[in-house]
Structure 1
Amino acid sequence: MLLTGLAGFDFFYTDCFRPLAKLGPLNKVSSMMNGVGLFQEAITLVASGRGGNALLRGADMMRRAADFGHVAAANNYGAMLHAGRGVRQDMVGARAYYHQAASAGLPIGLFNMGFMCFHGLGGPKDHKRARFLFLRAAQQDETDAITYLGLMLMSGQGGQADPRAARAWWSRGASLGNSRCAFNLGITHAGGHGCPQDLVKAWRWFRQAERLGNPEAGNELRRLECAMNDEEQSRAFRRAS
């Protein structure tokens, strides 16, 4: 268990790779019109929701656009291979296409490649590489990468532990509207991870996470309120008003 202090609190992060990128201008490798045209047509087919032949054709066009060097298409085809959407699921292939997108610096591609390395999908588990990729994506305000980077900094996975840096990154993510980052800051202050335990600050971060739509934050707020004394509750509610 990572936590000290209040028992039962745990960090929250996504277990999902990111969905499809839809922005044509994210192409940073090739300006070949056939790649761009294939990408746009693939997006139309995949997003249509019709499934069947439309999805199969969209997957094929996405692959061809990726093979022309279209960076967003490379990420998207990797995601389709990852999920088995319109193609047979292939984690090794997904990792290869994510690598193509990440190598071009696409933030979502960096996150997805980091996700594969973190979980050991389609190849070996490599926390050091995952941390590097999450950092590069986080520097471009990719908030899911910020969530993972903070967890790795907090726990020391893939490098030295640095709780202060973890809190700084999560604060950045929360300011960008990511509820998981706000939730994890609540966990940090509730459990005293690399900082003094402060239930009022924890309450404030859980409240922000709830406002941002985090599904677990309401339960944690209620649990925290049971653990707070009258003075702490008064300060927390006064700040919230």
Structure 2
Amino acid sequence: MVIKDFRQTNDSYTNQLSSKQQLDLNAFEDPMNNSSHGELSKFIQEFNKMNTKEIDSSISSNINFMVTVDEMVELSDKLSVDDDELERLLIYNYLNNHNMTSQEIYIYLLNNQNHSNSIVLLGDFNYLGIEINIDKKKAFELYQVAANSGSIIAQYNLGCCYLHGNGDYKDYNKAFELFKKLAEREYSKGINYLGFCYRRGIGTDIDEKKAFELHHKATDLGNTIGINNLGHCYEEGIGTDIDGKKAFELYQKAADLGNAYGINNLGNCYKKGIGTDIDEKKAFELYQKAADLGNAIGINNLGHCYEKGIGTDIDEKKAFELYQKAADLGNAIGINNLGYCYEKGIGTDIDLKKAFELYQKAADLGNACGITNLGYCYEKGIGTDIDEKKAFELYQKAADLGNITAQYNLAFMYESGTGILKDINQAIYWYKKSALQGDKDAQNRLEQIHAK
């Protein structure tokens, strides 16, 4: 879930009324975001420690492909994150360890479709583009066949397809129903995803208490994503009371299990003093660890550390490179922050057109900070023509998503009559919204308005 938003205001407040911008430091695991990365190295290390004699002995000189297929599907299912590249690498790693080729398995799968795991794995090959061009529609059809035969893994994959729209079959209601059925079968991934559905209102009404209960249940079953997400519930008070210490402990547990999001979130705890003392050096080290695991959010946050000198020396060029890396992984947060670098000349030359394009890209991905900064571009004419009405619409959109800076900027628009008719009551309403989230500029503005 993309929920947590560590905000960095880039324009210090003065008595002059003006809009603001923001960087974005995100810290929560979102099944809707496929740029997760981060657990393969640890998973492979554990896999390489496994006693594979039993497996090898069951594979004769002619190779017992059925055992191999079952083992590959089981290993893929043990990944606690859904990441195409991780699964692809896992499959190739398994094959290399057993002196097998993907072509051998692919041919076997084509000729043996009477076994549910064979159908699932052939679906994976189509989905990931192994021995064949990526064909998510075909993968969806294969998962559907295996799901109808009772395969719990296929049902989970099918639910993810409905959630993400893979194979052009996006259907939130069907995704919810599948995850609900999987939860009833005590499948931890399904339980965690069901919690996500309740948290975001996907295929059902938002029910934060139910989301909390499901993340707790997934945690009890040892699901590392569930552990991380339960930590976030305690941090933000989602379906439960805020408990920073409990959040810290859960992030620590997820981190100890190798979950890159848990490692990143533990870094956030040390950065902000959530459930522990502030320790910027420790935060930097944890962001570095998450980044080393390939976690896009950790890479982004490491870039922020280099930009601002958090736990390390300031190195704007390094910050730019890390934001670029996160952006290349498709991370909307990194894309937004890369845009800010181009706008302000942080580690690179100023390129306002490029900044505008990146904010647009982040906004298109639903990133609230990107939407806010895109609005700022339209308001100020940064990389595009001034369009105050468009700026207002974008601030409204981001404000409705709960973005603290957008709420402040929207209030400013109402107060100054920029892009909309003046409305002091609406201005006060949105300043209060922003102030309640801790925006000091909004708090100061409210005091000034009431002092008139």
**Which interval holds the TM-score relative to the shorter structure?**
0.7 to 0.9
- Specify the alignment match of 1:100 in structure 2: 181
Taking a change above 3 Å as real, the CA distance of residues 181 and 41 of structure 1, as seen in their structure-2 partners, is same
Taking a change above 3 Å as real, the CA distance of residues 24 and 100 of structure 1, as seen in their structure-2 partners, is farther
Measure, in 1, the Cα distance between the counterparts of 2:5 and 2:159: 35
Asked if 1:219 is matched to 2:219, the reply is no
Taking a change above 3 Å as real, the CA distance of residues 191 and 202 of structure 1, as seen in their structure-2 partners, is same
Measure, in 2, the Cα distance between the counterparts of 1:51 and 1:81: 21
Which residue among 80, 85, 106 is the counterpart of 2:166? 85
- Specify the alignment match of 2:388 in structure 1: none
Contact in 2 for aligned 1:154/1:162 (Cα 8 Å): yes
- Specify the alignment match of 2:412 in structure 1: none
Taking a change above 3 Å as real, the CA distance of residues 154 and 85 of structure 1, as seen in their structure-2 partners, is same
Taking a change above 3 Å as real, the CA distance of residues 40 and 128 of structure 1, as seen in their structure-2 partners, is farther
Q: Deviations over 1:110-136 (max 9, x none)?
A: 222122111111111111111122222
Alignment of 1:130-209 (within 5 A): 130-209=211-290
Which residue among 202, 207, 212 is the counterpart of 1:126? 207
Contact in 2 for aligned 1:56/1:87 (Cα 8 Å): yes
Contact in 1 for aligned 2:122/2:142 (Cα 8 Å): no
Q: Which amino acid aligns with 2:306?
A: R
Contact in 2 for aligned 1:114/1:131 (Cα 8 Å): yes
Contact in 1 for aligned 2:284/2:302 (Cα 8 Å): no
Measure, in 2, the Cα distance between the counterparts of 1:218 and 1:109: 31
Q: Which amino acid aligns with 2:305?
A: L
* Shift in Å, 1:217: 3.4
* Shift in Å, 1:204: 3.3
Measure, in 2, the Cα distance between the counterparts of 1:225 and 1:209: 18
Taking a change above 3 Å as real, the CA distance of residues 119 and 128 of structure 1, as seen in their structure-2 partners, is same
Q: Deviations over 1:67-92 (max 9, x none)?
A: 34322121111112222223521110
Q: Deviations over 1:202-223 (max 9, x none)?
A: 2332333233333223213325
Asked if 1:72 is matched to 2:87, the reply is no
Contact in 1 for aligned 2:25/2:300 (Cα 8 Å): no
Which residue among 79, 99, 115 is the counterpart of 1:37? 115
TM-score, normalising length: structure 1 = 0.74
Contact in 2 for aligned 1:41/1:58 (Cα 8 Å): no
Contact in 2 for aligned 1:128/1:159 (Cα 8 Å): yes
- Specify the alignment match of 1:16 in structure 2: 31
Which of 1 and 2 has greater Rg?
A: 2
Q: Which amino acid aligns with 1:40?
A: S
SS in structure 1 at match of 2:299: coil
**After the TM superposition, which of the residue ranges 7-16 and 193-202 deviates more from structure 2?**
7-16
SS in structure 1 at match of 2:160: helix
Alignment of 1:101-116 (within 5 A): 101-116=182-197
Q: Which amino acid aligns with 1:137?
A: A
Q: Deviations over 1:157-216 (max 9, x none)?
A: 111222111111111111222222122122212212233323333233233323333322
Taking a change above 3 Å as real, the CA distance of residues 11 and 136 of structure 1, as seen in their structure-2 partners, is same
Q: Which amino acid aligns with 1:15?
A: D
Q: Which amino acid aligns with 1:14?
A: E
Contact in 2 for aligned 1:42/1:57 (Cα 8 Å): no
Measure, in 1, the Cα distance between the counterparts of 2:75 and 2:268: 38
CA-based RMSD of the aligned residues comes to: 3.5
Contact in 2 for aligned 1:4/1:192 (Cα 8 Å): no
Percent identity for Structure 1 against Structure 2: 21
**After the TM superposition, which of the residue ranges 153-162 and 190-199 deviates more from structure 2?**
190-199
Q: Which amino acid aligns with 1:218?
A: L
SS in structure 2 at match of 1:23: helix
**After the TM superposition, which of the residue ranges 146-155 and 38-47 deviates more from structure 2?**
38-47
Q: In the comparison of the two structures, how many residue pairs are matched?
A: 219
Structure 1 residues not aligned, in runs of 5+: 27-34, 230-241
Taking a change above 3 Å as real, the CA distance of residues 39 and 224 of structure 1, as seen in their structure-2 partners, is same
TM-score, normalising length: structure 2 = 0.42
**After the TM superposition, which of the residue ranges 215-224 and 172-181 deviates more from structure 2?**
215-224
Taking a change above 3 Å as real, the CA distance of residues 39 and 226 of structure 1, as seen in their structure-2 partners, is closer
Structure 2 residues not aligned, in runs of 5+: 10-22, 35-71, 78-112, 314-452
Measure, in 1, the Cα distance between the counterparts of 2:75 and 2:115: 9
Contact in 1 for aligned 2:263/2:287 (Cα 8 Å): yes
Taking a change above 3 Å as real, the CA distance of residues 9 and 189 of structure 1, as seen in their structure-2 partners, is farther
